[in-house]
Chains A and B, each alone.
Chain A
Amino acid sequence: MTTAAFPPLTKKDFQTDQEVRWCPGCGDYAILAAVQAVFPELGIRRENFVVVSGIGCSSRFPYYMNTYGFHSIHGRAPAVASGIKIAHPELEVWVATGDGDALAIGGNHTIHMLRRNVGIKVLLFNNRIYGLTKGQYSPTSEFHKVTKSTPFGSPDRPFNPVSLAIGAEATFVARSVDVFQSHLKDVLRAAAVHKGSAFVEILQNCNIFNDGAWDGVTEKEARSEHVIMLEHGKPLVFGKNKDKGIHRKSDGDIEVIALGNGFTEADLVVHDAHHPRPSYAFLLSHMEHRPGFPTPIGVFRAWDDLPRYEDVINEQVRDVIAKKGPGDLNKLLRAGDIWEVK
C-alpha cells in the first residue's frame, strides 16, 4: 500500500460510471452525495477505501463509489468487512447497510463486529421499511405500523439502532439525517477519524414505501422544536428558542426542564461523548421514546481508547514472530516425535 503524498482528490474521483438506480427522491442520493463529499477530505488514497454492503436498497451503495467495493449477501457485510480488515488492517473499510440488513438478518454480525471493535465504519440507512422487497415492516418500524405484511398493524416492538449499538458497547455511535447535509457530513467526518468501530444511524426517507418516515424530525417545525443536537462539552439544550434542556435528576434519570423560572443552562447536562462507559450514552439514546423528549442527533459516544480488533490479532502474530522468529516450515512438519526409516 502506498502512503506517499498524492494529489488532492475531489468528489468526482469517487463517482463511478454506473447509472444510479435508486428511486427518484430517495434519501440515499443525499447520503451518497455526503459520502462522496467527505471521502476526498480524509487524506486517504482512493485505492485504500473499500465499501462493503449486504442486500437492500442501501446496499447498492458500493456500485456508485469509485473505490474498491464488495456487494455481498444479505446481512453479512460486517463479517465480510471484518475479514478484509483483519487481513489488511491499513485499509479504510466502510459498510453501507439498512435497517433490515443490519438489524434483522444480519443482527448477529452487527453486534459482534461492534463488541470486537473492528475498525470499520458502518452507515445504517434507517428508513423503517423493507424497500427492495416492496414494503414490508422492518425491525425499526413502529409498533402497530400498517405495511404490506402487517395489514392489521405490526405486532413487533422496534429496535432503537443507537441503543442497540451502545448496548453492544460500540466505541463510536452517532445519528444524523439524510436531509441534514452539513450535519451528516460533520458526523461522517467524526466517524472517519475514529479508529475503532464507528456506527452511524442515518435517518433516511423512503418516498415510495414509507414516505415521511422521519417527518417528526425533518419537518421545519419539528427540526427546531423536537430535535436536540449533541455536541461534546456543550449543554443539552433544544427548542426553537433554546429554552428547554435535559436535566439529570438525583436518581440518575433525566428529565426535560424549561429554562427560566430559576433554571439556567448551568442546570443542564453537559454532553460528554468521551465517557469511557456506555451508560450515559444509552440513557440519551432512549429519550426520544418518552413523551415530551426530543430526538437526539449527533455523536452519542466517541471513546477511542480501546484497541482495534485487527490490531490485536496482528500484534499477536508480530509478537510471536519477534519472540520465536519467523516460522520454519521444515521444522514445523518435523515437530514432535519423529523417526527415520532407513
Chain B
Amino acid sequence: MSTLTDVPTGKTKREVIEQAVIRFAGDSGDGMQITGSQFTNTVALYGNDMATFPDYPAEIRAPAGTEPGVSGYQINFSSNEVHTPGDSIDVLIAMNPAALKVNVGDLKPNGILIVNADAFTEGDLRKARLTTNPLDDHSLDKFRVFPVELERLTRAALQHLGIDAKAMDRCKNFFALGMCYWLYNRSMEPTVRWIEGKFKKKPLLAEANALALKAGYSYCEATEAFQISYEIPPAQLTPGLYRNISGNQAIALGLVAAASKAGIRLFLGSYPITPASDILHELSQYKDFGVLTFQAEDEIAAITSAIGASYAGALAVTTTSGPGMALKTEALGLAVMTELPLIICDIQRGGPSTGLPTKTEQADLLQAMFGRNSEAPIPVLAPATPGDCFWITVEACKIALKYMVPVIILSDGYLANGAEPWQIPKVEDMPEFSVTYATDPATYLPYKRDPDTLARPWAIPGTPGLEHRIGGLEKQDVTGNINYEPLNHENMVRIRAAKIQAITQDVPPAVPAGDQEGDLLIVSWGSTFGAITQSVKAHRGKGRKIGHLHLRYLNPFPENLGEVLKRYKKVLVPELNMGQLSWMLRAKFLVDAMGLNKIQGRPFKQNELDQKIEEVLGL
C-alpha cells in the first residue's frame, strides 16, 4: 500500500489544541471496543493524559442496526490533567443510523461527525426507527458532517487480497480508526503492531486490518476531507514509567503484587459475572506467579473454596458483582466468624436483581456494610480511579492478612472497564508486609489475640501440634471451642466489632482537597472521584470556599472524619445511588448531609455537579 501512504501532504491546516473528546459508536459486532482501546493506547503512548468510558450493551449481539445494540467507546485526551471521559464530545464516529441516533445528542455544536454513508439505506433507517434520513433532513446542520463510504472504500483497499466481502467489511472499523489517527496526527505504528500480534496465526487478516487502517489514514490525506487536523501535545505527568491500565487489570495486578510481597500463594475462587470476569481472565494467565484460579460451579462455591484455601494458608480472593455478592452473603458471615483473611471484590453494576449488567452504579455500599445476618462487620475499601484499583487492592490484602479479616473492595463497572495512564511502581518501593503462620504448640490457642490488632493466629493444616477445629458456631474467646454462653457471645460480638475499629490505626486521616474549611464540603467515594475533582477545581477557580473529601476507606472511616465534617457550613454527597454514603454519614455523625443522586447506569457529568454545587451555595 505504499502508493496510498506516500501521498504528499496536502494543504490542510494543523491546529494545536489542548484537549479533545472522541467517541466511536456502532453495532456491538462492529469492533467499537477494540477501536476505542486502540485509540486509547495510541494517545497514552504519545503521552497525553486521558480517561475512557466504554459503554456496551448486555446483549452480545443485539439485532444488528438497532438502538439497543449500539456499543460506544469514549476517550478524553489532553495535554493537561484529565479526570473524566468528558461530558460532551468533539468527534463522533457513527457506524450506522442507530449509533448516530443514540449518540448525536452528546456531540458539541460544530463538532465533527463521521458517518458510515454505506449504512444509511432505507432498511438501515427502519432498523433505527428513523422515518427520514438524517443525512438529508438537515437535522445535522449544526455539525460538521463527513459521510464516508466506509464499506466501499475498505473493500476497494482490500480487494486484491482475495478475502470475502464479509471479512473485508469487518475491517471497516480500522478504516475509521485510520481517519481519526490522521485527524489527530497520530502514529499508526502501535496499532499495526497490535494487529500483527493479534492475528499472528492469520497473516491475511493481519494484512487486511493493517491495510484498512492505512487506507483510512491515506483517504484523509488524499481527499483533504477535513481541511484541518489537530495536534494535542503530551501532558505534563509526574515523571516516571507509565502504562495504560483498566480497573480490573489493576485489581488483578494488585493481587499478584500483594501475594508476591507477602510471600504466599494467591488463590482465586470465582464464577463468571459481568463486569468482574476480566479479573478471573487476567489472573488465570499468571501461572508463573503460582496463582491458582478455580472457576467454581457457582458464586457460593467461589467464595467457600476461597475460604477453604485461606484456611489452608493462601491469600484467597473471590471476585463478583452485586447479584453474586447476594449469593455469597452467608459465606461472608462464615469468614467473619472464622476470622480468616479473604478479599472480596464486588465490581458493582446497576441493580437490583440482574438489573443493568453492563452499566455502572454505586448501590452495593449498604449491602457490603450490612448485607449479612446478625452483627458481622467487614472492612470496606473503594478505589477512586482505574489506577487506584491497584493500590486499594494492595491495601486491602495488607489489612486482611494483618487483622485476619475478610475485606470487601467496592469497585464498579466504570472503573473496571475505564482506562487511564498509570505510573508503574517499582516493586522495591512498595510497602513491605509479612505473614506469620503459627507454629508453636506450647503457646497456640486458636482465638488467642494479638493485643494491637486483635487478630487471631493463623495455623495452617500440616503444622504439627496445632490441630484445631473452627467453624460457623460461636466460639469461646481464646480457645475457640464451641460456646453458647450469653456473656461469651456478647463479648465475641464486641471483639469482632472492635477488631474492625482497630483497623483505623492503618487508615490515613481524612484530608480534604481544596479548602480545609469553608462553605461546602463535598464527600464522595469510588468512581465519582474524577468528575467531582474537576468540578471542585472549576468552582474553586472562581473563588468559592469548597473542600473535597474522597473516602477510600468506608469501614472503618478515618478517625478524624467527624471533626472534618464540622469544619464546613454544608456537606454534599454526590453518589450513583439513592444516598447510601449520606445515610451512613447522617447516622454516624448526625450531620445534615445533602445528596446528589443519579441512578441512570452512567457516571456523573461535570455540569450535573456544577449545577448542584451552585444550587447548594445559593448562586
A residues contacting B by CB (< 8 A) are: 1-2, 16, 18, 45-50, 52-53, 55, 62-63, 65-73, 76, 78-88, 90-91, 108-109, 112, 313-314, 316-317, 319-321, 324-327, 329-330, 332-342
Contact of B297 among A86, A90, A112 (CB under 8 A): A112
B239 interfacial contact with A, CB 8 Å: yes
Cβ distance B214 to chain A, nearest Cβ, rounded Å: 20
The CA-CA distance from A337 to B187 in the complex, in Å, is 14
Q: With A71-B472, A72-B334 in contact, do A324 and B288 touch (Cβ < 8 Å)?
A: yes
Residues of chain A contacted by B316 (CB below 8 angstroms): 83, 87
Check if B305 sits within 8 Å of A70, measured CB to CB: no
Check if B240 sits within 8 Å of A83, measured CB to CB: no
Cβ distance B359 to chain A, nearest Cβ, rounded Å: 27
Cβ distance A309 to chain B, nearest Cβ, rounded Å: 9
Nearest first, the 4 A-B pairs at minimum CB distance are A71-B471, A83-B308, A83-B305, A69-B469
Check if A71 sits within 8 Å of B467, measured CB to CB: no
Cβ distance A15 to chain B, nearest Cβ, rounded Å: 12
B267 interfacial contact with A, CB 8 Å: yes
Cβ distance B175 to chain A, nearest Cβ, rounded Å: 23
Check if B481 sits within 8 Å of A18, measured CB to CB: yes
Name B416-464 residues within 8 Å CB distance of A: 424-427, 460-464
Residues of chain B contacted by A334 (CB below 8 angstroms): 241, 243, 424
Cβ distance B343 to chain A, nearest Cβ, rounded Å: 14
B181 interfacial contact with A, CB 8 Å: no
Check if B288 sits within 8 Å of A46, measured CB to CB: no
Cβ distance B435 to chain A, nearest Cβ, rounded Å: 14
B277 interfacial contact with A, CB 8 Å: no
Q: With A72-B304, A329-B427 in contact, do A317 and B287 touch (Cβ < 8 Å)?
A: yes
Cβ distance A142 to chain B, nearest Cβ, rounded Å: 29
Residues of chain A contacted by B265 (CB below 8 angstroms): 87
A-B contact count (CB 8 A): 219
Contact of A68 among B300, B310, B467 (CB under 8 A): B467
Residues of chain B contacted by A87 (CB below 8 angstroms): 265, 267, 292, 308-309, 312-314, 316
Residues of chain A contacted by B330 (CB below 8 angstroms): 73
The CA-CA distance from A31 to B393 in the complex, in Å, is 45
B492 interfacial contact with A, CB 8 Å: no
Contact of B244 among A2, A325, A337 (CB under 8 A): A337
Name B240-286 residues within 8 Å CB distance of A: 240-244, 253, 256-257, 260, 265, 267, 269, 286
Q: With A71-B471, A83-B306 in contact, do A341 and B465 touch (Cβ < 8 Å)?
A: no
Q: With A71-B470, A72-B334, A330-B427 in contact, do A337 and B461 touch (Cβ < 8 Å)?
A: no
Check if A80 sits within 8 Å of B313, measured CB to CB: no
Residues of chain B contacted by A66 (CB below 8 angstroms): 467
The residue of chain B having its C-beta at the shortest distance from the C-beta of A324 within the complex is: B288
Contact of A70 among B241, B292, B294, B469 (CB under 8 A): B469
Cβ distance A40 to chain B, nearest Cβ, rounded Å: 14
**Pairs A–B under 8 Å by Cβ, sample size 10:** A68-B467, A71-B470, A83-B310, A84-B461, A327-B260, A327-B288, A329-B257, A333-B425, A337-B190, A341-B237
Check if A47 sits within 8 Å of B464, measured CB to CB: yes
Residues of chain B contacted by A47 (CB below 8 angstroms): 461-467
Question: Other than the known A69-B467, A71-B471, what 12 A-B pairs have Cβ atoms closer than 8 Å?
Answer: A62-B471, A68-B467, A69-B470, A71-B473, A72-B307, A82-B308, A316-B287, A332-B256, A333-B257, A341-B236, A341-B240, A341-B242
Residues of chain B contacted by A82 (CB below 8 angstroms): 294, 301, 305, 308
The residue of chain B having its C-beta at the shortest distance from the C-beta of A313 within the complex is: B292
